[in-house]
Amino acid sequence: MSGREQMDGCMQSVELIVIGASAGAVSALTHLLPPLPGGYPLPILIAVHISPRDTGSLVALFRERCRITVKEAEDKEPIAPSTVYFAAPDYHLLVERTRVLSLSNEEAVNFSRPSIDLLFTSAADAYGSNLLAIVLSGANQDGSKGITAVSEAGGAMWVQAPDTAEARSMPDAALAASARARALGLGSMTELLTQGMGRR
Mean pLDDT of 119-131: 98
**What residues are annotated to the active site?**
22, 49, 142
- Mean pLDDT value of segment 133-155: 98
What confidence score (pLDDT) does residue 6 get? 52
- φ, ψ of residue 2 in degrees (nearest 5): -75, 165
Dihedral sign for Cα atoms in the order 143, 145, 147, 153: negative
- pLDDT category at 2 given cuts 50, 70, 90 is very low
Q: Which H or E element spans position 158? A: strand 156-160
The separation between CA 100 and the C-alpha centre of its own chain, rounded to angstroms, equals 16
Give residue 7's pLDDT band: very low, low, confident or very high (50, 70, 90): low
| Class (C level, CATH) for 3-196 | alpha beta
Strand, coil or helix: 138: coil
Query: Cβ atoms within 10 A of the Cβ of 35, count?
Result: 16
Q: 117 or 111: whose pLDDT is higher?
A: 117
Tell me the percentage of the chain whose pLDDT exceeds 70. 92
pLDDT for 57 beyond 60:
yes
Per residue in 148-188, pLDDT (tens digit) is: 999 999 999 999 999 999 999 999 999 999 999 999 999 99
Task: Kindly indicate the confidence band of residue 40, based on its pLDDT and cuts at 50, 70 and 90.
Answer: very high
